[in-house]
Each structure stands twice: as structure tokens, then as C-alpha cells.
Amino acid sequence: MPAITAILFIGDVVGRAGRRVLRELLPELRETADFVVANGENAAGGIGITPKEADELLRLGADVITLGNHTYRHREVWPYLEDEKRIIRPYNFLRTQPGRGTTIVERDGVTLGVINLSGAVHLQSAAPPLVAVDEALREVAGCDQILVDMHAEVTSEKVALGWYLDGKVTAVVGTHTHVPTADYRVLPGGTAYITDVGMTGARGGVIGMKREQSIAVMRTHMPMRYEPSDEDPWLNAVLIRSDGPRRAAEISQILRSAP
């Protein structure tokens, strides 16, 4: 294993603006990381992903794409989730739902296992994430590095998972709220942790969608079509540096506006 392994994790990529940010910023950031993992659950028009956006994220340099509650929004991605090993959906979904919840990628002789989990509070999941993760860990046992994307609404579930996995995995990163938290740190057992990485999308909107539409819905209680915003796109990510197997030495936050 090399002395240092760097893993870049990119928060939920939202719509066209999010993909544009990646086209502009990822080539340079890719140079700083051995592995890139991106949450792509909002890549297609702000909700879900299709094979087209998934292929684009992989082409831009993502080694693995993780997902979340919007996984199955677009029917055309269902068979893709079965065929493409580099895209995963929460492990604790039903076994009957398409796709897998863990994957292993390799670069220069180093293996990275990635686990995707869904929170159980205010989100649909088949098993509690803190129980299901035991089985998921067995699927990536022996990997040099392990990263867990915990896609969850409430902070307590993510904090608890971080503590539960401290010393067992390289990193536990939270996604789904689209708002980056300021609590990134390496826990005492050597696991890098952040409650939410944030999103890669338009900060001028409401968690990535046009703010006029969100405000109108909240003011009228009437349904309306949501479209992703293009205003003020940012990249939200974390860079985790590891100096040993399944152990983080450092985690830093990368919050950058598109040029």
C-alpha cells in the first residue's frame, strides 16, 4: 500500500448545474485523489439518475456513484443498476429492489470498498442501517480502505453510525440534506466523519431547486413542478487522507464555487 491514499467524496450532484461544476472542477481535483466517489441521486433534472448522467459522472472521473431515496425515479436506470458494478444504492433497501449496496474498486493495487446506506427516519428502508451495516461490512471485508455513504435525513442517525463504525472503516460521510455541516473530523478510533457533505449544485436555489418554485409551494400549499436551479453553482466535497488500512489521518472540506 502507498504511504497515503486520498479519497475525494462529492456531495449529491444536482441537475445540469451540478454536472457542469464537475466538468469544470473535477479534472483538477481528480489529480489530488486516488479515488473519487460521488453521490448521484439528483443528477437527472434534480431527482434521480439515468444511465446517461451515470455514464457522464464515471467519464468525468468518478470511480463509484452512490445513491439514495431517489434511486428508482427513472425506470431506465433499473437494469443499469444490475449491470454496472460502479453504481450502488442503499444496502438496506429491500432485496427485491434492483441493484447492489456495496462495491469494491481497485487502483494501483489498493482496494476501496464502498457501502451505501439509507437512514430509517423519514426515509424508506427495509432494515435499520446500524444493523444492516454489519452484513454490508462482510461484503467489503479485507479491503484496504472502506467508505460508507450514509444517506439520511436526521443528524442523530448519522452521528450514531459514525461512532458505531469508528475504528472499523476509513470514513463515514453523510448525504441527503444538501447542506454541508461543519463537524468534519477524525474520530478517536481513526474514522473520518462528517454529518453531511452538502451538494454539488446551485446554491441560488432551495437545496438545488428553483427557489421561486419552493417558496410558492410553501406559501400556497399547492403542488408545482420543481426544476433545478442554475444560479450560483458550487461543489461541496470532502477529501479524506489515509495513512494505513481502514484508517483516516485527516479529513478536509472542499467548498468551491464554479469558475
- Contact positions toward Fe ion, by CB under 5 A? 12, 41-42, 68-69, 176
Question: Could you tell me the smallest distance in angstroms from the CB atom of residue 109 to Fe ion?
Answer: 33
Question: Could you tell me the smallest distance in angstroms from the CB atom of residue 98 to Fe ion?
Answer: 18
Question: Could you tell me the smallest distance in angstroms from the CB atom of residue 22 to Fe ion?
Answer: 15
Which residue, 14 or 25, is less far from Fe ion as judged by CB? 14
* Nearest-10 Cα torsion for 157, 130, 192, 177: -40
Give the Cα separation of 36 and 32 in Å (integer): 10
Question: Could you tell me the smallest distance in angstroms from the CB atom of residue 175 to Fe ion?
Answer: 6
Which residue, 12 or 157, is less far from Fe ion as judged by CB? 12
Largest pairwise CA distance in the chain? 57
Which residue, 102 or 236, is less far from Fe ion as judged by CB? 236
In 3D, which of 235, 197, 202 has the Cα closest to residue 25?
235
* Phi, psi of 84, rounded to the nearest 5 degrees: -100, 110
Active site residue 70: yes
Residue 144 · residue 111 · CB < 8 Å:
yes
Tell which phi-psi region holds residue 232, choosing left (phi > 0), alpha (psi between -120 and 50) or beta.
Answer: left
What angle, 0 to 180 degrees and rounded to 10, lies between the N-to-C axes of helices 15-30 and 51-60?
A: 20
Provide DSSP, 77-91. HHHHHHH-TTB---T
Question: Could you tell me the smallest distance in angstroms from the CB atom of residue 55 to Fe ion?
Answer: 20
List, by residue number, the catalytic residues: 70
